[in-house]
Structure 1
Amino acid sequence: MPRLLLVHHTPSPNLQAMFEAVVSGATAPEIEGVELVRRAALAATASDVLAADGFLLGTPANLGYMSGALKTFFDSVFYPCLDATKGRPYGLYVHGNNDTTGAVRSVEGITKGMGWGKAAEHVLVSGEPGKDELRACWELGATLAAGLMS
C-alpha cells in the first residue's frame, strides 16, 4: 500500500486548522489504498522517509525561514535518504503572520537537493486561514494522496 508521510510543525491554532484540512483531504473517502502517516517534525525519522512514497510538509514561517523543527527533520534525513527518495512527490503548506517567502525558499532548496518533485501548488497563508485557504489545504492533501493511488 502506498504511504504518504505528513511531516509537520504545528505550534498554533492557525497551523492546526491547516493541518486538519490537509489530513481531511488526504483521507477523503475517494482516496483508496493510500496510508497517511503523520509525524511531528521532531519525531520523524529517516526510516519514516524511506518507507514513504510521497510527502506533505507543513511549517510556520519563522523569522523568514522554515521552522527550526522542520529544519532539524531535514538535517537528520538528508544524507540517509538522499539517493533512495529521488523523484518522489511532495506538497507544502506554510503559515506566516505576514510573509512566507523565506520559508518557501528554504524548503524548496532542500527538496530540490533531495530530488523531490513538487506535485501541487504550495498553500501559503498569512494571517488567519479562511474558507478558501482551508479548501486549498484540503485539495493539497487530496492531490498528493490521489497521486499515490494505484
Structure 2
Amino acid sequence: MSEQKVSRLGPWVERPFPPLLPEIVPFWEGLRRHEFRLVKCRRCGACYYPYTVCVRHADIPDFDEMEWAPTSGRGTVFAHLTVHKVVDPAFQPDLPYVLALIELDEGPLFATRIVDCDPQDVRIGRRAAVKYHDVPGQDRTLPFFVLQD
C-alpha cells in the first residue's frame, strides 16, 4: 500500500446546499453530531438509504413504521472509480479523487467519496468507515469514507 495522504478539498465544499427534502433532514442532522444514520424498519430492523419503506413484508409498512437510527458507518467497497478530470474548477484541487459505492454493514449501498488514501489503494472488498468533515464556517458536515486496514 502507498503512504497514507490527506485529501485536499476544493472550494466546492463551501457552496450552499440546495434545499433539503424534509424526509432527508434527519440524516444531515445526524452527521452534524457525527452520527451516521440510516432508515430502519421498526418491524424487522432492515436498514435503507435514502428514506423509504421496507419491502421485506407482504403488507409493505407505511412511513410511520420507519425511523432514522444510528448505525456503524462502516462497510465494504462495492464499486469505485477514480476521477482525473473535472469540468467545474472548484473540484480541480481534489484531483485525482475516488468515488465509490460502499456496501454498508447494515445492508444498503451508499454513494460517497473515499478520502485520505492513494487512489491505487482502493479495491473492491476493502473495508471502509465514515469520516466526518465539518465544513468551516457552516453548520453542516459531509460524510466521506476512509479505508480501514
Q: Same fold (TM over 0.5)?
A: no
Structure having greater relative contact order (Cα 8 Å, sep ≥ 6): 1
Q: Where is the strand percentage greater, Structure 1 or Structure 2?
A: 2
TM-score band by shorter chain is: under 0.3
Relative to the length of structure 1, the TM-score reads: 0.25
Larger radius of gyration: 2
